[in-house]
Amino acid sequence: MARVLVTGGGGFLGGAITDALAARGDEVIALDVAIGPRLQQLAAAHAVVTPVIGELTEWPHLAGALAEHRPDKVVHCAAIVGVPASVGAPLATMRVNVEGSLNLFEAMRLSGVRRVVHISSEEVYGPFEAPLIDEEHPCRPLMAYGISKLAVEHLGRSYGRLYGLECINVRTCWVYGPGLPRPRVPKTLVDAALGGRPLHLPSGGDFRVDHVYFADTVQGVLLALDKDEHPFDVYNIATGQAPSLAEIIDIVKDLVPGADVSVGPGDYRFDERVGPVPKGALDVARAREHLGYAPSYDIRKGLAAYVEARRNAAD
C-alpha cells in the first residue's frame, strides 16, 4: 500500500484516479481548490481518502500538504484544461499549469518525494503529421494549453537532471465519460440524445481524433505510477484509433434509438473563434510493451458504457 497525493483529486480525471487508488487500498491525499460534491463522495466511500484544500499557485498549500502528509508518490492532474479555456485565459493557464507545476516539483524536492505522474496531452504535438503518431512525433504546440503542458514536461526533465525527480508524462487524448464537465463531443451528443433534445452540428463530420474512455486513462496512469523502472519518461495512453465525428454520431443514434443528432461535413470547431489543429490517433505500442497497457474501450464500447452510466445515474 502506498500513500499517493493526487492534485485535482476531486476533478473529472483526478476523482477517477483517486477512486481507483483507494479501491485497491492505497492512501490518497486528494488535493483540490475546494472540497466539492465529488470529493465529499470519495471521502465518504473510502476511509483512506483524505481531502485537502489547496491551490497550485499558492506555495504554502503545496509545501504544507507534502510536509504534513509525506506521500510516497504524486499524480498531477490539476490544471486549466483544454484549448478553449486556454484561449480565453492564456495568462491564467500559464500561471496555473506551469507555475503551479513548478511549485509542486519544488515542494516534492524539499520533501524528498521522487516520482510524479503528470497528466499531459496530445496537444503537446501540435498539428499531427500523420493519421497515427507515436511519442517521437515533433512537439510543436500552437495553443496555450499544449504549450503549458510541454513546458511542464520539460520542467520535469530539468528537475530530473538536477535533483533526481522522476516525472513520467502520460499523454492522453480526448478523455470522456461520466462527470466530464466540459461541453465537448461526445458529451454534448450523449447529453442531447438522452435528454431527447435535437443537436445538429453544422460541420465537423470529417474530424478524427482519438477519444479515450476515462477508465483506460486511469489504467495507464496507475501502470505508470507502479512501474519500478521506466525506460522512457513519456507514454501515449489512448486507444490507437481515431473515429470520425460522423461515425460517432451513428453510434450514438444506434445506442439511443430516436436520438435527433447530426453533423455536417468538414472540420470541427470548438466555437466561433477556434477549432482543433489536425489530429488523428495516438500509437500506444510503447505503453503496451513497457507498461502492459491494453485499452479496453474502443469508441463503441466506450460510448455504450458512458450511456449506461448516465442512465443508471438518472434512475
pLDDT digit string, tens, across residues 39-97: 999 999 999 999 999 999 999 999 999 999 999 999 999 999 988 888 888 999 999 99
Q: Which of 15, 170, 151, 173 is nearest to 90 (CA)?
A: 151
pLDDT digit string, tens, across residues 9-23: 999 999 999 999 999
Cα 38 to Cα 122: distance, rounded to the nearest angstrom:
26
Mean pLDDT of 92-120: 97
pTM above threshold 0.85: yes
Name the least confident of 167-176, 255-264, 269-278, 286-295. Answer: 269-278
Q: Which pLDDT score, from 0 to 100, does residue 315 have?
A: 64
Percent of the chain with pLDDT over 70: 99
Evaluate if residue 273 carries a pLDDT over 80: no
DSSP string over 78-113: -S--SHHHHHH-HHHHHIIIIIHHHHHHHHHHHHT-
Q: How far is CA 116 from the centre of its chain?
A: 15
Q: Which pLDDT score, from 0 to 100, does residue 1 have?
A: 85
Strand partners, 75: 6, 117
Q: Band of the pLDDT at 182, cuts 50, 70, 90?
A: confident
Q: Which pLDDT score, from 0 to 100, does residue 33 have?
A: 94
Q: Which pLDDT score, from 0 to 100, does residue 60 have?
A: 93
pLDDT digit string, tens, across residues 210-249: 999 999 999 999 999 999 999 999 999 999 999 999 999 9
Mean pLDDT of 154-169: 98
List, as own/partner pairs, every contact residues 266-272 make where C-beta atoms lie below 8 angstroms and the sequence separation is at least 24, other chains included.
266/203, 266/204, 266/205, 266/206, 267/203, 267/204, 267/206, 267/207, 268/185, 268/201, 268/203, 268/204, 268/207, 269/203, 269/204, 270/83, 270/84, 270/184, 271/84
φ/ψ of residue 13, rounded to 5 = -80, -40
Mean pLDDT of 87-115: 95
Percent of the chain with pLDDT over 90: 91
Q: Band of the pLDDT at 269, cuts 50, 70, 90?
A: confident
Q: Which pLDDT score, from 0 to 100, does residue 15 have?
A: 97
Evaluate if residue 38 carries a pLDDT over 90: yes
Q: Which domains does the chain have, with CATH numbers?
A: 3-176+211-240+286-291 (3.40.50.720), 187-209+242-280+298-314 (3.90.25.10)
- Cβ atoms of 92 and 80 closer than 8 Å: yes
Cα 146 to Cα 151: distance, rounded to the nearest angstrom:
9
